[in-house]
Amino acid sequence: DGSLDPVAELAPGVWYLAVERRGAGTVVAYEDGSKRGFVLDMTGIQRGDDEVEAPAEPDFEPFWFAVPVRRPLMSETEEQQEVGELLPNIWYLAVEKREPGLIVRSQDGHTGFLLDTSGIQRG
């Protein structure tokens, strides 16, 4: 029937690791790695990523680049919502490498996440 069986119950006040997004839900793991599960309802979840951020690549040097075709500029949050677009023949500044893409600053000062870096022209 497509229903999911609970494998555990998440307790208030305990930190869990959000491993990946899948559709409307999130795969989470216990801190010790003992269990993984799928959480459908994320209502009221407190995120603890304010202090934990993916480290920037240590030897990264910012560079100017252009895209070959229109590319979406995504928010830097986990929700990955489109916040703008990058257009061909315009120069953008890559300010940080963060897997799997680049943090980009547009000429009007907006920043976002470029996921598809294939075919970019470095300036």
Q: What is the mean pLDDT of the chain?
A: 79
CATH of the domain at 106: 2.30.30.40
| Nearest to 111, CA basis, from 88, 92, 89, 98 | 92
81 and 110 together in one domain: yes
Tally of domains in the chain: 2
pLDDT computed for residue 57 by the predictor = 59
Identify the CA nearest to 15 among candidates 4, 1, 36, 29: 29
Quick: pLDDT tens for 62-111: 999 999 999 999 888 766 788 889 999 999 999 999 888 899 998 777 88
Domain that holds residue 33: 8-45
* Same domain flag for 41 and 69: no
33 compared with 113, residue with greater pLDDT: 113
Name the residue among 108, 93, 105, 101 with its Cα closest to residue 62. Answer: 93
For the cut 60, the answer to whether the pLDDT of residue 52 exceeds it is: no
Are 25 and 70 found together in one domain? Answer: no
Assign 3-state DSSP to the chain and report helix, strand, coil percentages, each to 5.
Answer: 0, 40, 60
pLDDT band at 51 (very low <50, low <70, confident <90, very high): very low
Residue 55 lies in a domain: no
